[in-house]
Amino acid sequence: MTTEFYVVRHHGAWRIRVNGKHHGEYGSRVSAINAAVTEAQSAGPGAKVFSTGIISQFSAEWPSKDGANSLPL
């Protein structure tokens, strides 16, 4: 199963959402993305990182290169 990490603005801070639960508190979107990529690398093949943009749509930020379901960037 592919693990997906979402970087979102939640209760005034940037956080990482995995499996419907938020964790972490980051001062910037970039810091949260970097932390999410680190977690995704540990999660194994197929892990992906997405983040919300200015118009609240998710963008792919990092795909695992090891998984068969990797997103092309």
In whole angstroms, what is the distance from residue 4 CA to residue 55 CA? 20
In a domain, 12, yes or no: yes
Confidence at residue 66, expressed as pLDDT on a 0 to 100 scale: 60
pLDDT, residue 63, reads 74
Residue 16 falls inside a structural domain: yes
* Percent of all residues in the chain with a pLDDT value above 70, rounded to a whole number: 75
Domain range holding 33?
A: 4-63
Give the total number of structural domains in the chain. Answer: 1
What integer pLDDT is reported at residue 69 of this predicted model? 46
Res 30 pLDDT > 90: yes
> Domain for residue 71, yes or no?
no
pLDDT at 2: 82
3-class DSSP state of 20 = coil
Asked if residue 68 is part of any domain, the answer here is: no
Q: Would you say residue 15 has pLDDT above 60?
A: yes
